[in-house]
Copies of this chain bind each other. A is one copy, B any other.
Amino acid sequence: MPKQERAELTRTAILDAAAMVFDERGFQGGTLTDIIAGAGVTKGALYFHFSSKEEIAKAIISEQFTIWTPPEDPDLVTLQTAIDLSHGMAISLRNNPRVRAGIRLVIEQGTFSTPTPDAYQNWIGLVQTCLESAARQGDLRPELDPVDVATFVIASFTGVQISSEVLTQREDITERVTMMWRITLPGIVPPRRLHKFRPEGSQVAEANGVSRS
């Protein structure tokens, strides 16, 4: 196996093992020893790739922002895009330990040691893009500021996923995200435009034969 490829595999093994460790025990609770053991690598191999536990955590956190690249045509970005992104994130939180670890690290970092607003600001920026597009399309109540609404949507989603974990180990996360949009859409969208949007996400709406307008 070429050296480069082997190095890449080692890096992936370290990140996968770290995700499991951080997801289960958090940043404080998880140790480099656990990560080394989980990845089946030597201490030397780990330090070849990462200088510290913090650096591994940062790599996992930053991965979350590679999952969405906005389409080149800004008209294709709508408020429904934000709804669908939140549902995609909810599903990833159930299925993907790396996403789960990333979110846990963001919240833990933010709430419990040095607050680092970067991750929140990235997510807010993403939703803001959707809302600015919605504003141009006449789908945002004109009295609302896209930044305020984006800040609320991210705050709300953060709380929904935390409480869903505590209350049902995230079993009801999809329903809770749908409920979040059902309750918030009437405050975000002008009444006559409300019928355009699917709080359950467009994939679910389409699977149920609800046509898009």
Measured CB to CB, the residues of A under 8 A from B are 25-26, 28-29, 104, 107-108, 110-113, 115-117, 120-121, 144, 148-149, 151-152, 154-160, 162-167, 169, 176, 179-180, 182-188, 191
Contact, CB under 8 Å: B183 / A149: yes
A165 to B182, CA, bound (A): 27
Q: Say whether, besides A115-B169, A169-B115, A186-B186, A158 and B162 are in contact (CB < 8 Å).
A: yes
A116 to B25, CA, bound (A): 16
A183 to B144, CA, bound (A): 9
Dominant SS at the A interface? Answer: helix
Give me 15 A-to-B residue pairs in the complex whose CB atoms sit less than 8 angstroms apart, sorted by A's number.
A26-B113, A107-B107, A110-B163, A110-B166, A111-B166, A116-B166, A120-B167, A155-B159, A158-B159, A158-B162, A158-B163, A159-B159, A184-B184, A184-B187, A186-B186
Contact, CB under 8 Å: B185 / A115: no
Q: Which residue of B lies closest to A156 (CB)?
A: B156
A152 to B113, CA, bound (A): 27
Q: Which residue of the partner chain, among B29, B113, B144, B165, contacts A110 with CB atoms under 8 Å? A: B165
Q: Say whether, besides A112-B104, A187-B185, A167 and B121 are in contact (CB < 8 Å).
A: yes
A191 contacts which chain B residues (CB < 8 A)?
Answer: 191
A115 contacts which chain B residues (CB < 8 A)?
Answer: 165-166, 169
Contact, CB under 8 Å: B163 / A120: yes
Contact, CB under 8 Å: A183 / B188: yes
Contact, CB under 8 Å: A183 / B179: no
Q: Which residue of B lies closest to A110 (CB)?
A: B166
Within the complex, the shortest CB–CB distance from A26 to chain B, in Å, comes to 4
Name the 10 nearest CB pairs between A and B, nearest first. Answer: A159-B159, A110-B166, A158-B159, A183-B187, A186-B187, A155-B159, A155-B163, A186-B186, A26-B112, A155-B160
